[in-house]
Structure 1
Amino acid sequence: MPELTWIAWVALAVGAVTVGISKTAIPGANIAVALFAMVLPAKPSTAALLVLLIVADVFAVVFYRRFADWRVLRGLVPPVVVGLVAGAVFMSRASDALMARVIGVILIAVIVLGLVQRHRAQRREAAGGGDRVPQGRGAAVAQRAFYGSLGGFTTMVANAAGPIMSMYFLAVRLPVTVFLGTSAWFYFVINLSKVPFSAALGLFSTEMLLIDLVLVPFVVLGALGGRWIVNRISRDFFEWSVIVLSILGAVYLLVR
C-alpha cells in the first residue's frame, strides 16, 4: 500500500464520495478530478479515478437504465470515438502541465457557450417559444460533433468530460431522469472503452489498484447518497449545481 498522509486519504475519500454522487445525482462535478490530481501523480491519477468511475457507473446504470435517450447516445458514438483516439495520442506526447491547461481552456470555453445557449433558450421560452425549440439538422449535427469529440478527448486525458457532456445534455433539454439515464449509459460504455487505452499507456499499477480497493466503499456511499438527493432537488437547482461544479473543475484544471 502506498504511504500517504491522513490528509491525503481524506482528500481521496471525499473525491470517491463525490464520484458516487456525480453518477447518481449531479453529473459534471469534477471535484474528484482535482482532488486525485492534487494527491497522486497527474497521469496515474486518471487511471486510479477511472476504476472508481466504472464502479459508480454500475450503480448509475442500475438506477437509471430505463430512462436513457438512445437516439442521443447513438448520435454521439462517431464523434466520441474520434475524440478518444485523439486524446490517447495527445496524452502519450504531452506533459502534465500542458495537458491540464489545454483542457482547462476548452472547458471554460464550452461552459461559457453552454450558458449562452441556456440563456437564449430561456428567453425563447419566456417569449412563448415552448420548452424545446426545434433545431435544424445541420446545426444539430454540428453541435453533436463539437460536444462529442471534445467530450471524448477530455474524458480520455483527464476523466473531465463531465462539464462538456453535461452542457450538451442540458442544451438538448433532457428531463432530469432522462439526463441521468443517458449520462449513466454514456459514461459506463465510454469508461470501459478507455481501459485498454490507459493500460497501453502504462497508467495502471499495483499501488493505484490498492488505493482503489480502499476507496470503493466511499464510492458506494456516494452513489447511494446521490440516489436519495436526486429525488429532493428542483430542476433549477440541479442545472445550476451542474454549471457551478463544472466551472470549479475547469478553473482547477486551468490553474493547477
Structure 2
Amino acid sequence: MSYLEILGMIGLGIGCGVSKLGIPAALIFSPILASIYGGKASAGIIIIPILVSDLIVMYIYRKNADKKVVLKMLPLTFLGMIVAVIFGKYISDEIFKQSMGIIILIIGILTLMKSFKIDFSKLSVLFGFLGGFAAFIGNVSGPLMSIYLLNIKMDRDKFYGTRTWFYFVVNLVKATLYVVVLKNIHLETFKLTSVAIPFVFVGVFAGKYFVEKMNQELFEKFIVILSIMSGLKLLFF
C-alpha cells in the first residue's frame, strides 16, 4: 500500500465518521476514491467503514429513533436499490462513475433548494427512491435523507437516531448486494479499509463536536459547492 493510499484510507475513515453526523463528507471522498480505484471498486471500499460508523452512532443515539419514519422510507429505498443493482451490473465502470456524478449534482441542487426554504417533507416517495439508488451507486445518499428529516421537524437526537438506524439497514442490505451481485468486496478491500476503520472513531466524535459548535448553514453551502465540482469532474474529466 502506497503512502497516498494510506492517506486516502485515513481520510476515508474520518470522512465516514463525520458523515454520520449529517455532514455530507461522502460527497468529497466518494468521487476522489472513484477516480483512483474506479466507481464499482470504490463503492465496495467505502461501505465497510460506513457500516462501522453506523454501529458507533447507533450506540450513541440508541434511544432515539422514529421507527415510523424508517419503515415509511425503506420500501421505496429498496426499490431504488433494485433499480441501481440492474443498472450497475450491466454498465461500464465509466458510465457507473458518470452516474455517480449526476447523482451528486442532483443532491447539490436539492441542498441549494433547501436553503430557499422549499418544503420536501411530502416527497418521501421521491427521496426514498433516489436515496436507495444513490446509496447503491455511490454511497452518496446521506444528504438526501438529511434534507428530508430536517423538513419534518425532528429534534437533533431523534434526527441522528432515525437517520442512523435507517442507513444501517440500507447499508447492510447494500453490502450483501455488493458481495453477491457486483462482487466488489474481497480480501484486498478489507486490507485497505483496515487502515480506515480506527479513524472512523475520530471522525464520529470530531463530527459530533463540530456539528454542535459550528455554523452549519455556512458549512452546508461550502459542501454544496465542493459536491457540484466533484460531480462535474466525474461527468466530464
TM-score norm. by structure 1 comes to: 0.80
Which of 163, 183, 188 is residue 168 of structure 2 equivalent to? 188
CA drift of 1:188 comes to 1.0
Matches within 5 A, 1:145-224: 145-200=125-180, 201-224=182-205
Q: Does 1:31 align with 2:2?
A: no
Name the SS for the 1:66 alignment partner: coil
Cα deviations by residue, 1:107-141 (Å, 9 ceiling, x for unpaired): 323432443354144xxxxxxxxxxx7x9xxx82x
What's the offset of the Cα at 1:244?
Answer: 4.6
Alignment of 1:63-212 (within 5 A): 63-121=60-118, 140=122, 143-200=123-180, 201-212=182-193
Q: CA RMSD in A?
A: 2.5
Contact 1:57 1:184 in 2 (8 A): yes
Q: Give the percent of matched residue pairs that are identical in Structure 1 and Structure 2.
A: 28
- Give the secondary structure class of the aligned counterpart of 1:65: coil
Name the counterpart of 2:11: 14
- How far is 1:42 from its partner? 2.6
| Stretches of structure 1 lacking an aligned partner (at least 5 in a row) | 122-132
Structure 2, unmatched stretches of 5+, are: none
Q: Deviations over 1:146-188 (max 9, x none)?
A: 1111110111111121232233233434343333222211211
Instruction: Output the CA distance in 2 between the equivalents of 1:95 and 1:111.
Output: 25
**When the two structures are aligned, how many residues end up with a matched partner?**
236
Shift of 1:49: 0.9
Aligned to 1:228: 209
Structure 1, residues 197-255: CA drift from partner, whole Å, max 9, x if none? 11112111111111111221111221222222232234534654664554455344434
TM-score (norm 2): 0.86
Question: Aligned pair in 2 of structure 1 residues 164, 86: CA closer, same or farther (>3 Å)?
Answer: same
Please say which structure displays the higher CA radius of gyration.
1
Contact 1:107/1:163 (<8 A) preserved: no
Q: Rate the CA distance shift 1:106–1:231 in 2: closer, same or farther, 3 A.
A: closer
